[in-house]
Amino acid sequence: MERTAVFLDIDGTLCNYNGEVPPSAGDAVRAARKAGHVVVLCTGRFRAGIYPELWEFGVDGLIDGNGSYVELNEKVLLHQLIPEIEAHAIVDWLHERGLDFFLESNNGLFSSEHFETAGEPVIRQYSAGKGEENAAAMQVLVEHAGISAEHTVALGDAKDDIPMFEFARVGVAMGNAGEEAKAAADFVTDDVDEHGLAHAFTRLGLITK
């Protein structure tokens, strides 16, 4: 099979909703990389919010922050930042008005004192829109890697993964995915805890049994 870029959502795809990576998924990622394919985490999370154990079996790249950061082979290809002076001004403005906030970055996650309860409705709305910029970030990565968009695969479990499916040549929804994600995918594999990722990799020819 041609060298392929494989973009993986994290929660519900590479790991289950308890943050556990099925052994078969880790084995599949290692085997795909050994076969020469490029495996990239593609997530709305920032690096600081990614489970440390996900780095243990090795990946080639990372798209995080909803497409604001792109890294391949430890080289940063894209990093869209809010300038420090503007970040301070935003936080001061929010504090002055008694508004709660949550800040995400590759260096850490920072929230106001009462955000956990006050911010719940906003988080739901924000999460529903995640994923829109990932496709542009995927294009940046494949161009740098010298891989045609025709040789791209994306795996995910949620509505916010649909833009990944639309960019990739093949989009794969997990068996535990929402109905919208399943409808947008080219095929549906098994649940994350039922070796879904490994089965998809085998079906796609990324690895052999």
Whether 74 and 123 map to the same domain: the answer is no
For residue 187, give both structure tokens.
Answer: 């095929």
Question: pLDDT of 32-49, one tens digit each?
Answer: 999 999 999 998 888 877
The total of other beta-carbon atoms located within 10 Å of residue 141's CB is 24
Whether 116 and 68 map to the same domain: the answer is no
Residue 52 lies in a domain: yes
Give the residue from 94, 128, 162 where a domain finishes.
Answer: 128
Residue 209 lies in a domain: no
Whether 106 and 156 map to the same domain: the answer is no
Whether 27 and 61 map to the same domain: the answer is yes
Report pLDDT for 128.
Answer: 47
Distance CA 111, CA 109 (A): 7
Question: pLDDT of 133-152, one tens digit each?
Answer: 788 999 999 999 999 999 99
Whether 60 and 20 map to the same domain: the answer is yes
Residue 30 lies in a domain: yes
pTM, full prediction: 0.85
Over range 85-96, report the average pLDDT.
Answer: 90
Whether 73 and 124 map to the same domain: the answer is no
Task: Provide the domain count of the chain.
Answer: 2
Whether 61 and 142 map to the same domain: the answer is yes
Do residues 164 and 131 lie in contact, with contact meaning Cβ atoms separated by under 8 Å?
yes
Q: Select, from the ranges 53-67, 68-82, 130-144, the one with the highest average predicted confidence (pLDDT).
A: 68-82
Query: CATH number of the domain that 31 lies in?
Result: 3.40.50.1000
Do residues 91 and 101 lie in contact, with contact meaning Cβ atoms separated by under 8 Å?
yes
b/e sequence 164-194, b meaning 16+ C-beta within 10 Å: bbebbebbbbbbbbbeebeebbeebbebbbe
Residue 21 lies in a domain: yes
Whether 91 and 140 map to the same domain: the answer is no
Q: Which domain holds residue 105?
A: 84-128
Question: pLDDT of 50-61, one tens digit each?
Answer: 878 787 778 999
Whether 151 and 124 map to the same domain: the answer is no
Residue 191 lies in a domain: yes
